[in-house]
Each structure stands twice: as C-alpha cells, then as structure tokens.
C-alpha cells in the first residue's frame, strides 16, 4: 500500500492510500482513535476497516492525526483533528474527482471526529461509527444528522458504555429523512480484542451494511 504525505492545516499528514483501478470507484476515509491513548492509523480496528472497504471496491485513505507518527503538529482536543480529517477528504477527492459515493468511518475518538465531518461535508453519503464514545463527547451537533449510517458497538464496552450509545442512537432515530442502523457485538469490549468472536463479526456486519447501501443506492 502506498505511503502518502499530504498537506494538512499544521503541516504534512502521513497516510496510507489504497486506490482502485476504476476512476469512479467510491471513496472512504478511516479515522483512528484518540492519540492521547496511543491511537494511530495502524490500530487493529482501523486497519481492518480500511481493508474491508478496499475489498468492497472503495478507494481508501487512512492517516495519522497531527502529532502522530510522521504527521506534523500537536494534539488539539479534537478541533484540529477535525480540520485534519477535512484536509484528508480534500486530498482523497482531489485524487478521485469522478467518485460518486463518499463514506467516512471512524473508531472511538475517530467516530466522534467522523460524525462532525459528516455535518460539514454534504457530499458524504454514508458513515460507519464504531464504538462512538457518547459518554465522553457531546454528539448534540447531529441535529439533524445529514446522512444514514451504521453505529456498532460491543455489549461489554467499558470505555464507551452501551447505555450511552443506546441514548445516542435513540436521539438520531427521532430525525426524519435518514436511517441510523444500530448493531451490537455480543461480549465485545471497546477494542474487539477477540478476532474470531468479536472483530470478525464486527467487520462482517460493516461489510454487509455497506454492500446493502451500495446496492440500494440510498443516502
């Protein structure tokens, strides 16, 4: 997979870019968890999401937020990281001007950033939020949520407790014009550590959801 360096708000950002031969292939960016707790673009969940999207025919970009790996800058409480994500999407779109579908996927802190990006970029047609930390961050900006998507979490998540995810999903489902699908992986913790019991079912759920959306051609 080609390593890429692209311009961000605070200097260069380091990423991994995996294109498709088709010029009109759908595009997706994948956002990693909190850098303060060791989150990078090589996190297992992020890595698996990246390859899952690519195997489904997407051109995919994952990258390190500012201050992580070879990305320049310093941690900025999510404000700067949102700008980083916007720059990453700009780069991906510039490389793929003929793409008709644009998705954003994020894990934990990355899910929070991804949902904020959703509000600012109307061209995003779908989202995947894995273990969104609704207990730590305010998601009230999703009013209204502009696109349909999937929220997925583990029933044994102690970092982002399921009850807070349920509350978030309930609020989003009150909105008209979109469909928020919610799935839970039985027994999974925040990191889906057991590959066979937790990671694989989570990835399978994401794959089936995205494939269905692409087939239906719905927002």
Write the pLDDT tens digit of every residue in 15-39: 999 999 999 999 999 999 999 999 9
pLDDT given for residue 55 in this prediction: 98
Task: Count other Cβ atoms within 10 Å, centred on residue 91.
Answer: 21
Query: Cα dist. 86→79, 83, 190 in Å?
Result: 11, 5, 26
User: Does the CA dihedral 152-142-118-26 come out positive or negative?
Assistant: positive
Q: Of 28, 4, 34, nearest to 132 (Cα)?
A: 34
Rounded to the nearest 10°, the torsion over CA 192, 31, 179, 145 is: 130
pLDDT given for residue 1 in this prediction: 56
pLDDT given for residue 26 in this prediction: 97
Write the pLDDT tens digit of every residue in 73-99: 999 999 999 999 999 999 999 999 999
More reliable by pLDDT, 34 or 218: 34
User: Does the CA dihedral 68-70-74-76 come out positive or negative?
Assistant: negative
Task: Count other Cβ atoms within 10 Å, centred on residue 181.
Answer: 16
Q: CA triplet 123, 18, 199: central angle to 5 degrees?
A: 90
DSSP assigned state of 198: I
pLDDT given for residue 45 in this prediction: 98
User: In whole numbers, what is the pLDDT of the chain averaged over residues?
Assistant: 96
pLDDT given for residue 219 in this prediction: 47
Look up the domain containing 8 and give its range: 3-216
Q: Of 111, 120, 113, nearest to 151 (Cα)?
A: 111
- The arrangement of strands across the sheet holding 126-130 comes to 3-8, 11-18, 59-63, 27-31, 102-107, 126-130, 149-154, 180-185
Number of domains in the chain: 1
User: Does the CA dihedral 144-150-155-161 come out positive or negative?
Assistant: negative
Q: How far apart are CA 182 and CA 85, in angstroms?
A: 24
Joined tokens for residue 217: 């051609």
Q: What is the CATH classification number for the domain harbouring 106?
A: 3.40.50.1820
Write the pLDDT tens digit of every residue in 96-155: 999 999 999 999 999 999 999 999 999 999 999 999 999 999 999 998 899 999 999 999
* 26 Cβ neighbours under 8 A, 6+ residues apart: 57, 58, 59, 99, 100, 101, 102, 103, 214
Q: How far apart are CA 212 and CA 189, in angstroms?
A: 26
């Amino acid at each position: 997979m080609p390593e890429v360096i692209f311009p961000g708000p605070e200097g260069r950002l380091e990423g991994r870019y995996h294109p498709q031969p088709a010029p009109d292939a759908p595009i997706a960016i994948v956002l990693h968890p909190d850098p303060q707790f060791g989150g990078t673009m090589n996190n297992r969940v992020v890595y698996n999401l990246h390859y899952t999207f690519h195997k489904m025919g997407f051109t995919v970009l994952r990258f390190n937020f500012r201050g992580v790996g070879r990305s320049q800058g310093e941690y900025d409480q999510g404000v700067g990281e949102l700008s980083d994500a916007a720059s990453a999407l700009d780069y991906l779109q510039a490389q793929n001007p003929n793409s008709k579908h644009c998705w954003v996927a994020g894990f934990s802190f990355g899910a929070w950033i991804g949902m904020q990006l959703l509000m600012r970029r109307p061209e995003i047609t779908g989202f995947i939020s894995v273990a969104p930390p609704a207990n730590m961050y305010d998601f009230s900006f999703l009013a209204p949520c502009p696109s349909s998507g999937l929220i997925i979490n583990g029933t044994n998540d102690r970092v982002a407790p399921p009850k807070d995810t349920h509350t978030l999903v309930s609020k989003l489902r009150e909105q008209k014009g979109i469909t928020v699908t919610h799935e839970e992986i039985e027994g999974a913790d925040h990191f889906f550590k057991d590959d066979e019991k937790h990671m694989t079912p989570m990835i399978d759920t994401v794959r089936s959801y995205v494939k269905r959306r692409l087939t239906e051609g719905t927002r």
